[in-house]
Amino acid sequence: MKKFRGVFLKNEKEISSMRIANGMVSQILDAIAEVIKPGVSTMFLEHLAQKMCHEMNVRPSFQGYCGYPFALCCAVNETIVHGFPSEEAILQEGDIISCDMGVCYNGFHGDHARTFAVGEISEEAKKLCRVTDEALHLGIAAARVGNDLYDISAAVQRHAENNGYHVIQRFVGHGIGTSLHEKPEVPNFVPHGSISLPLQVGMVLAIEPMLAIGTHEVKILSDKWTANTLDGSLAAHFEHSIVIQQSGPEILSLSSNYSGTC
Ligand code: MF3
Ligand code: CO
- Residue 62 in contact with ligand 1 by CB distance below 6 A: yes
- The answer to whether 184 and 3 are in contact (CB under 8 A) is no
pLDDT of residue 112: 98
pLDDT of residue 262: 83
pLDDT of residue 183: 98
State the sign of the Cα–Cα–Cα–Cα dihedral 76, 81, 84, 85: positive
The rounded Å distance from CA 206 to ligand 2 centre is 6
The amino acid occupying position 55 is: E
| CA atoms within 13 A of residue 57's CA, in its CB half-sphere | 2
User: Which H or E run includes 154?
Assistant: helix 149-162
pLDDT of residue 17: 98
- The answer to whether 131 and 211 are in contact (CB under 8 A) is yes
| Class of domain 2-251 (CATH, top level) | alpha beta
The rounded Å distance from CA 247 to ligand 2 centre is 24
DSSP 255: B
pTM of this prediction? 0.98
pLDDT of residue 68: 98
The rounded Å distance from CA 173 to ligand 2 centre is 6
For the chain, which ranges sit under pLDDT 70? Answer: none
pLDDT of residue 194: 85
The rounded Å distance from CA 110 to ligand 2 centre is 9
- Residue 182 in contact with ligand 1 by CB distance below 6 A: no
The rounded Å distance from CA 255 to ligand 1 centre is 21
Atom 2, ligand 1: residue with shortest CA distance? 100
- Residue 84 in contact with ligand 1 by CB distance below 6 A: no
The rounded Å distance from CA 225 to ligand 1 centre is 10
Cα–Cα nearest to 134, from 187, 188, 197: 188
Partner residues linked to 166 by β-bridges = 212
Ligand 1 mutation pick, 25, 28, 79, 100, max ligand atoms within 8 A of CB: 100
pLDDT of residue 27: 98
What number does the ligand 1 atom closest to the CA of 82 have? 7
The rounded Å distance from CA 250 to ligand 1 centre is 21
What number does the ligand 1 atom closest to the CA of 180 have? 4
pLDDT of residue 29: 98
pLDDT of residue 100: 99
Atom 11, ligand 1: residue with shortest CA distance? 62
- The CA-based diameter of the chain, rounded to the nearest angstrom, is 49
Residue 161 CA to residue 209 CA, distance in Å, equals 12
Ligand nearest the Cα of residue 65 is 1
What number does the ligand 1 atom closest to the CA of 181 have? 4
- Residue 4 in contact with ligand 1 by CB distance below 6 A: no
